[in-house]
Amino acid sequence: MSTTEEKFSLREVLVSFKSCLVDDDQDVLVEHYLDGWKGLVRFMNSLGTIFSFVSKDAVNKIQIMENYLKGEHGERYRTLQSMVEYELSSNLVDLTKRGSHPESGCRTILRLHRALRWLQLFLEKLRTSTEDSKTSTLCTEAYNASLANHHPWIIRKTATVAFLALPVRNTFFEVMNVGTTEDVVDMLGEAMPYVSNVYDLTQELYSQHNLLDLP
């Protein structure tokens, strides 16, 4: 996971989520999906150790998926659709309660997928924010409208306290290494449709297979 220690580039994250989409934008390549997350983890690491409890969980989930990709059945994990078909047809998913497959690909991606909704909301809030907007407020609002609904009280509390340590909007934009505020806003506008497409496709796939509440 050494790549997560390289410098963050929002453009690379954009390219990863853009190149995720395959088969006429009807499927998601797992490898590039994970590359997008690795880029985001790099960004979070650059914000300081207060977010290490979040990045550890994200890194752990990325690692679980990378192990599947490198494993004996790696080809079945090439796209989200092939992963869902393979794991369901081979009974590799704990559907109602945690049992013998506590780290299935389907449940691991579901956790990242829920976090992608938070990202989608947060990026849109950042894009439309003004100079005096507080990143902690934007982040908390995005979190409360998404991930928080899936987290127990103690995680919600810890996350909300950590958000208070987010840097102010200008510093936040600088860490993105994109250029001026206008450049950041433009790039966020460019990135949003790709992140949204990936989110919508995954949501549709999981909904079709009743996988949105995996334990």
* Sites of contact with ligand LTTT4AJV (CB under 6 A): 10, 40-41, 43-44, 51, 53-54, 57-58, 111, 114-115, 118, 139, 143, 147, 155, 159, 166, 176
In the chain, how many H helices and how many E strands?
9, 2
| Cβ proximity to ligand LTTT4AJV, 65 vs 166, nearer residue | 166
Three-class SS state of 21: strand
Three-class SS state of 210: coil
- Which amino acid is located at 50 in the chain? I
| Cβ proximity to ligand LTTT4AJV, 26 vs 63, nearer residue | 63
| Cβ proximity to ligand LTTT4AJV, 26 vs 170, nearer residue | 170
Q: State the Cα–Cα distance between residues 87 and 95, nearest whole angstrom.
A: 11
| Cβ proximity to ligand LTTT4AJV, 23 vs 190, nearer residue | 190
Q: Exposure pattern of 1-26 as b/e (b: 16+ CB <10 Å)?
A: eeebeeebebebbbbbbbebbeeeee
CB of 75 to ligand LTTT4AJV, least distance (A): 25
CB of 26 to ligand LTTT4AJV, least distance (A): 25
Q: State the Cα–Cα distance between residues 143 and 147, nearest whole angstrom.
A: 5
Q: Are strands 21-22 and 27-28 parallel, antiparallel or unpaired?
A: antiparallel
CB of 77 to ligand LTTT4AJV, least distance (A): 18
Q: State the Cα–Cα distance between residues 179 and 95, nearest whole angstrom.
A: 45
What is the length of the chain?
215
Q: Which residue is nearest to ligand LTTT4AJV (CB)?
A: 40
CB of 208 to ligand LTTT4AJV, least distance (A): 22
CB of 27 to ligand LTTT4AJV, least distance (A): 22
| Cβ proximity to ligand LTTT4AJV, 22 vs 136, nearer residue | 136
